[in-house]
Homo-oligomer: A and B are copies of this chain.
Amino acid sequence: METSKKTIIVFSGDYDRAIAAFIIANGAAAMGDQVTMFFTFWGLNILRKPNRVKTQGKSLLQKMFGWMMPRGAGKLGLSKMNFLGLGPILMKKAMRDKNVMSLEDLIASARRQGVKLVACTMSMDVLGIAKEELFDDIEYAGVASYLAEADEANVNLFI
């Protein structure tokens, strides 16, 4: 089968949905596909560095968003059975017990395999997320860039 292209919009910042997105992305990359993941709205939280990063020029509102939103893969909640944060702990243990890669490992694997991670600049603007708060070496783009890639892809998902 010839190499083909996939795009995934990662809108959700839920741990379980992020796992699903990265398992599909890693699977496709392993089969030789080009994969682009566009992170928008709450999905941006998956790309946040876990430590606090000093930023300038944020409005009070943007600072508030920054405080309230989870910093990175380790802090995300579940879309179901979150139980005030107990759910993710149990889910991670269940994944370890079954030797399923953690979200952090799935992200690292995706990057090693050349999956393109793109942060939506408009969402970053609205939520007040600065580039230095996100992983280094990712790309930044808007909807036109997404659409250009989706036009070339044969599988396009919104998660």
Contact = CB atoms under 8 A, between A and B. Distances in A.
Interface of A: 1, 4, 9, 11-13, 16-17, 19-20, 23-24, 26-28, 30-31, 33, 40-42, 59, 61-62, 64-65, 68-69, 79-81, 90-91, 93-95, 97-98, 100, 122, 125-128, 142-144, 146-148, 150-151, 153-159
Contact of A93 (B61, B98, B159): B61
A19 B59 CA distance: 22
Given A16-B41, A17-B11, A27-B144, A122 B150 contact: no
B20 A11 contact: yes
A147 B61 contact: no
A87 to B, nearest CB: 10
Contact of A24 (B26, B143, B157): B143
A69 B91 CA distance: 13
Given A11-B16, A155-B156, A158-B158, 17 more contacts: A24-B147, A26-B143, A27-B142, A27-B144, A27-B146, A30-B144, A33-B147, A61-B94, A65-B94, A94-B126, A94-B128, A95-B126, A98-B122, A98-B126, A100-B125, A151-B155, A153-B155
